[in-house]
Structure 1
């Protein structure tokens, strides 16, 4: 299995070793934490294509799967940048006064993408399909371990059938483990983020509607800065975003990073299938949809996940993304 937890890029070749060292020494080190997922494709493309180096950065991408741990690393200056979906840990961090803020939007639920954030199950368990989710009452549903966009999406799906999270048993599984559990019968259904992650199983699958039918263009993917970048020269934070969104635009044009092949191998799916995934769900200029933030904040408060209401203005630092598309 490829090492998906840490990617280290080295200069190669004895002739260029001293020059390589000089170049690296002149770059500003930035550690970027992110959960493992297809959404990292554009981040890895920016790294592999040298866009970050051109902007003056030596970027290291670290995988942190749990949102609370990722926020703690960002607040403790162990990483400078965090790529994350909307999640309750961000809201609680800001409520506690930690110096972390959302600086740019990254991904949204695009109607152009066939299926994003949807429920799936086996046809033999749901012979009439999953378009009517009332069949999930009392069933076991796999979702991620952190209270995040996935749990929000699951409840919004259930609401279409008059259900809540209390009407199902949510099991904290994600990735290949969740798919394996569904195939073995350990769970009845799962909230899957992207249909390209489904391996060839030999089983007939059924699907719910896409989340885009419930909340069109809902923005879920975010970029956060910690104290280090927020207190540095503002041009540094802007340069990072400019380099990243340069990679986003290249990815949307069809350029594919090697990371995708490694990711496909990790999930056990065909790399060709992964490379054909929908690419229209990336925000290309860093713009933030405060309306999406508001919807998630209200959901978190109403569910009792945060101690007080939170306004989107409390969560964001808009100084950096003004010229991300420049």
Structure 2
């Protein structure tokens, strides 16, 4: 059984929001109070409480309706997708540890599809239905050779999960040129090499799914993570450009059946981030890698597009780009964003 680097779970705002969504923010239960008031003879014109409860119920249902409509129209305009163990082969970069290990395991065991892991390290634990290929994903030749082996031994990959990444904790003037280049090679250029190598085959099959594992730090860059945050911003831009390239491409008169998904998590509870302290366990809880992996795999199974953001606060971080600098600086100081890196400096080759 896979074991993660899991710490004691404290109650967080995400737990409270989950409870609220299943109780007073559920689209059906929001009407219970209004029904009780009506049953007790309250009149709409005379009861402020009744009017407020009806307005509240209407707002909650409108939000759910808009989300449902968005998902519905996305399914209509996209080609149908159903994960098929007889057709689909998944490639996961950096799948020997961290989040990639959980994604590989859940895809292989729960979804019963063949998984190929590209990693510079040997696996500490092998998983049934997963084949491991030693590969330096920062090198195009190594990626091309490894993917050719995947195609020959397993089959044409239809799912690509660009997951591998490395980080640092030095100030920019202390970062050697070799480390900066290595971080960009692994975190950014590898996405280009894997996507370029597999996209022609996906287009030929008119079937594919490309997952980009980025980070909330692509939207808000802390001090002492200059190179890492820059690569995550590049990942987000890469995902967006590839997504709309694929939307404009047609195979004959048919819309291309290749889907994309962006993942922008907060701090993940893996050894990679042991030198980073979360500003608040309540408002910014650590992301458990196995829980995030389940969400990613479920999105692949259902053919969802768009983005996965976790925990809850990450939904609002992109909005900071439009706030005045003085307010942003105040919020960063309040959250201790730029004091989250501990004094020890390390570079871990996993995500």
TM-score (norm 1): 0.28
TM-score (norm 2): 0.27
The structure number with the bigger radius of gyration is 2
Larger RCO, structure (CA 8 Å, separation 6 or more):
1
Q: Which has the higher strand share?
A: 1
